[in-house]
Structure 1
């Protein structure tokens, strides 16, 4: 294992000493054996690394320094080269991954932004609105801490993340398994990307779970304002009937807006969310049942909470005539 960086108290003096060493190297005769010249560069390299790690005094590990650097610059694009400098370690990239995946810090890379741009632009726009700039120009080794708060359940997720990543399940099935094991809990895009084995289509598979498979996978923009930006949550471990999966996003949004984002029967909305209340999400109900020829139009759909929706289908609740 290589020499660990050591923090120094006087960065200026350290920089001057390194500069003197570099000047001595420049004065070496070109005929000096290459091994001698290489050996003379080693203490200079160590000195520069010590200076870099000393920019964040009081943090005794590369991972802690990387996190501290991000927290000083939330919502800003950070280059990998900067992280290499302040971390003072060779394996800074592995420590960064630990922060993103194991510790749950929402640090998104240029690669992840590219995946979202290709497969889930709605989520991308929400993140860009949060951080205040477009991410189009970000390179693979540029990173952004999109929100200065970690996933409190990250440690619990980690064992499952590792087992799913190494499984033979499809990308979509791995993602669904993770979400179903964490119903009601936010999962970051970076965690989903990790489970997918870094496959670029992970964002498309998440979207398909909601729009084609009927799983209530929601984001901050889709009525879950309390979850971190860039995260996804499975609101309920319940797949909607096949005919409900064909409702387009535009129709769904129009119905929710018309009904004020609340249940037309009991008035429940996401603002009333309570752990002890079985009402967890809003669903769209066909006034004229699909089996009777009802279609997926704004005029034939009404917003109900999940409890009232189940009661209607169990025929223990009748809706007023004339709706919607």
Structure 2
């Protein structure tokens, strides 16, 4: 059974470690290889105990709890995996992070997921995620997601459906979670860790017309790398070819507010689940282009009203 790190006084642990390493000079000169290795085992234990004790919190005895406390001190900050190895006092820190995410609902993004998002040119990777390396982590929010364990069980079922493509699996998962925040980590898992998940998610929005919003495409309130299927219906075909970069610029120009009724997401409530859409001033079928100049921001209610009145779409 692996040894668990213990919590102690950091200064006392440091002093013991220095003393042990000082004595090790003699072993380097006079001991054989195996004895040298065996003499370093207590130093390795002390070093792990020292890392585990840096929080100075006697209640955080388990590695998972120490890792969580550390991440909560640096919400929205890129954390290297080796930092979590030190503070957790274990080499299996990645498994503990997965437990925090899957079983306990903490929104932790990994550098592997960000790498997939970057690979899709039209995915708007936020500036704070840009420097993330594969073995980096970021806690997106200090709010725990109580429904996460249930969603991950749903994700596991869909992930194992062999007859579905990656895109179909992602869509099915979104449709099981309409209106709920879904993380890139969940989508990557549903896709069986295939890097194409980010591209397929974008295609569902821009080519197939599913209203999947991100921080850069209609929901500036969302944490980075989070997605929401706003409504369980596809957009009309003429709205499915608007590039994310264009849509984002239109929303930003209009301050993420409906040009007809003044609605924005700051007014959102569960009984009025509106969302924003891009509306063609000159109908796409009549030669209207997918340009910032030919698009305006409308909420889905006002967009439907204009279409019922026979206005351009």
- TM bin, normalised by shorter chain, reads 0.7 to 0.9
In structure 1, the residue matched to 2:2 is: 2
Corresponding residue number in structure 1 for 2:175:
180
1:15 — aligned with what? 14
Equivalents in 1 of 2:262, 2:28: separation in Å?
84
After superposition, give the CA deviation of every residue in 1:237-281 in whole Å (9 maximum; x if it has no partner).
Answer: 1112333312444665676656973163x554433322123x522
TM-fit CA distance, 1:150: 3.7
CA distance in 1, matches of 2:73, 2:26: 40
**TM-score, length of structure 2 as denominator length:** 0.82
1:143 equivalent in alignment to 2:146: no
- Ranges in structure 1 where 5+ consecutive residues have no aligned partner: none
- Structure 1 residue 231, shift from structure 2 partner: 0.7
Given that 2:54 and 2:87 are in contact with CA atoms closer than 8 Å, whether structure 1 keeps it comes out as yes
Q: Distance in 2 between matches of 1:40 and 1:198?
A: 41
Offset from partner CA, 1:146-196 (integer Å, 9 cap, x none):
443343432221212222333323222222122111111111222222222
Matched-pair contact (CA < 8 Å) for 2:218–2:256: no
SS of the residue 2:115 aligns to = helix
**Aligned match of 1:85:** 86
Question: Which residue of the partner structure matches residue 224 of structure 2?
Answer: 229
Change (3 A) 1:213 1:74: same
Q: Could you say which residue in structure 1 is the equivalent of 2:309?
A: 318
Matched-pair contact (CA < 8 Å) for 2:6–2:61 = no
Comparing 91-100 with 47-56, greater Cα deviation is found at 91-100
- Of 150, 163, 167, which aligns to 2:161? 167
CA distance change for structure 1 residues 152 and 296 in 2, over 3 Å: closer, same or farther? farther
Once the two structures are TM-superposed, the CA of residue 29 in structure 1 deviates from its matched residue by 7.3
Supply the distance in 2 between the matched residues of 1:212 and 1:91 (Cα, whole angstroms): 41
CA distance in 2, matches of 1:22, 1:281: 62
How is 1:149-160 mapped onto 2 (pairs within 5 angstroms)?
149-160=143-154
Q: Does 1:61 align with 2:53?
A: no
Residue 243 (str. 1) matches residue 238 (str. 2): yes
Q: How many angstroms apart in 1 are the aligned matches of 2:42 and 2:255?
A: 69
Encode CA deviations 1:54-96: one digit per residue, 9 max, x unaligned: 1122312111111211222233332222211110123111112
**Cα distance 1:85–1:269, how it changes in 2: closer, same or farther (>3 A)?**
closer
Bigger Rg over Cα:
1
Q: Is the 8 A contact 1:120 1:207 kept in 2?
A: no
RMSD of equivalent CA atoms: 3.2
Deviation by residue 1:75-123 (Cα, 9 ceiling, x = unmatched): 3332222211110123111112223444343333333332222215553
For residue 74 of structure 1, give the secondary structure of its aligned residue in structure 2.
coil
Map Cα deviations across residues 30-62 of structure 1 (whole Å, 9 max, x no partner): 664544443332222112111111112231211
* Distance (whole Å) between structure 1 residues aligned to residue 48 and residue 70 of structure 2: 16
Residues 14, 283 of structure 1: alpha-carbon distance in 2 compared, 3 angstrom cutoff: closer
Aligned residues of 1:287 and 1:294 also touching (Cα < 8 A): no
User: What aligned pairs does 1:102-141 form with structure 2 within 5 A after superposition?
Assistant: 102-119=103-120, 122-124=123-125, 127-128=126-127, 131=128, 135-136=130-131, 138-141=132-135
> In the aligned structure 1, how far is the partner of 2:255 from the partner of 2:115?
35
User: CA 1:287–1:3 in 2, change beyond 3 Å: closer, same or farther?
Assistant: closer
| Pair 1:253–1:21, CA change in 2 (3 A) | closer
Residue 261, structure 1, aligned to residue 257, structure 2: yes
Corresponding residue of 2:205: 210
Alignment partner of 2:286: what SS? coil
**How many residue pairs are counted as aligned between the two chains?**
307
Is 1:271 the counterpart of 2:272 in the alignment?
no
Distance of aligned partners of 1:253 and 1:30 in 2 relative to their CA distance in 1, 3 Å threshold: closer
Matches of 1:31 and 1:252, distance apart in 2: 71
Inter-partner Cα distance in structure 1 for 2:47 and 2:104: 29
Q: Describe the SS at the equivalent of 1:7.
A: coil
